[in-house]
Amino acid sequence: MNMFYKRDEHYKILGNFMVEFSTMETALLQYCSIITYLNYCQDGYTRYSPLSLSDRLKFIRDFIYKNLPLLQNDWDKITQKINSVNEDRRHLIHGIGRSTLWAENLNTMCPKKGEIIEKEYNVIDIEKIISDIQEIKTGDNGIQGEFLTKFCTHRYDHYNKNIDNSSKVIYTVNGEVLTEFKGV
């Protein structure tokens, strides 16, 4: 048996994890951009990509709580899920590994509030975390699906309430106008 087989398997699954987590973070950049610029644009990416994940989540949360209160409960549930997979990210990407090249599990140590937290992951655990990220993105109330549609609809309705008819935004999905403003 190739003694590096487990190492290669771990590298592959960790690479998949990083890609999935990164696409989730990019989706959150889209929200920051829509809040500020009403669309997903280069300026939004440039402005908000330097923020930490927690700062992005707080920026979105503050906007929702102030302007879109109907989305508060949904956003809180999404944030809880994101924080959970982010805790795993801290261990898998930034944690100090204590595993041998042929070990079945990845053992990590990560500081949190003055103490060292140890966790152990195997390939199945990491596949489950990847699945959780995919659920956050595209599952029920996903940040790249149903919740994004609700967020944009409420965001554009909020914008439209404070602007004259010539500058209002009409938001359509699959040919259906979702904003309260349907056009002149």
pLDDT tens-digit readout, 25-37: 999 999 999 999 9
pLDDT for the residue numbered 176: 92
Domain range annotation of the chain: 5-141
pLDDT for the residue numbered 94: 87
Residues 146-184 have pLDDT tens digits of 999 999 999 999 999 988 888 899 999 999 999 999 886
Count other C-beta atoms under 10 Å from residue 9's C-beta.
Answer: 14
Q: For the chain, first and last CA: distance in Å?
A: 71
The Cα angle at residue 54 between residues 121 and 39, in degrees rounded to 5: 115
Task: Return phi, psi of residue 64, to 5°.
Answer: -60, -45
User: What integer is the mean pLDDT of 24-52?
Assistant: 92
Q: Which of 74, 170, 141 is nearest to 178 (CA)?
A: 170
Range with lowest mean pLDDT among 49-58, 98-107, 111-120, 133-142:
98-107
pTM of the model: 0.88
Residues 105-138 have pLDDT tens digits of 888 888 888 999 999 998 899 999 999 999 999 9
Assigned token pair, 84: 């959970």
